[in-house]
């Protein structure tokens, strides 16, 4: 199954990253300190912030391993994404894709879900271990707000450790990248 890469992929299909707005969002008064409690996350955010200053494309990415021990079939990771107008226009929707880098295991697939208010959507990487990400999942948020709050979860269909990358970014109604802020709540 071919992947429909969004604007966050380069010609070779590799994810490119940046943080918008610049690293000052790490001290957002609304969420002060909430995502700076995890040392690994701090290092990851710092690396992404450095890439942002290098002028790469507008997308965000997070990599990790779900169920590192491999014995939790119901392991779920959870994060909150806040979309806001950073000068590019008001947020309209959240775009996500997931890529499972682990070797294929029969019956073991990795998915990501986006939910907000009373809406939810899902996408699954049906070809684990290949070079393609899942089809994009796009969820439109509530209209007429200065910011939109979404939740992203990552889950799997069976026990087993999975290494993955999730690409996410907030976009305006005409698919222009706009402000994106993430807070990680749970890593299992």
Q: Which two tokens stand for residue 87?
A: 């000068």
60: confidence class by pLDDT, cuts 50, 70, 90? confident
Q: What is the pLDDT of residue 108?
A: 95
CA 143 to CA 100: how far, in whole Å?
Answer: 33
Mean pLDDT in residue range 156-172: 95
CA distances from 147 to 49, 67, 114, 142, 164 (A): 22, 32, 16, 9, 28
The arrangement of secondary structure in 61-186, i.e. its CATH architecture, is Sandwich (2.60)
Tell me the pLDDT tens digit for each residue of 85-135.
Answer: 999 999 999 999 999 999 999 999 999 999 998 899 999 999 999 999 999
Assess contact for 151 and 78: CB atoms under 8 A. Answer: yes
């Amino acid at each position: 199954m071919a992947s429909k890469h969004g604007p966050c992929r380069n010609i070779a299909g590799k994810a490119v990253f940046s943080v918008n707005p610049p690293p000052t969002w790490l001290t957002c008064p609304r969420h002060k300190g909430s995502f700076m409690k995890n040392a690994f996350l701090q290092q990851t955010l710092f690396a992404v912030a450095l890439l942002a200053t290098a002028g790469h494309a507008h997308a965000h990415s997070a990599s990790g391993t779900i169920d590192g021990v491999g014995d939790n079939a119901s392991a779920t990771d959870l994060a909150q994404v806040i979309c806001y107008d950073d000068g590019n226009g008001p947020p309209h929707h959240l775009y996500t894709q997931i890529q499972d880098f682990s070797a294929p295991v029969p019956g073991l697939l990795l998915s990501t879900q986006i939910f907000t208010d009373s809406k939810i959507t899902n996408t699954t990487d049906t070809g684990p271990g290949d070079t393609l990400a899942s089809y994009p999942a796009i969820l439109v948020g509530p209209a007429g707000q200065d910011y939109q709050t979404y939740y992203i979860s990552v889950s799997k269909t069976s026990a087993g450790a999975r290494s993955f990358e999730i690409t996410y970014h907030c976009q305006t109604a005409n698919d222009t990248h706009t402000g994106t802020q993430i807070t990680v709540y749970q890593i299992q």
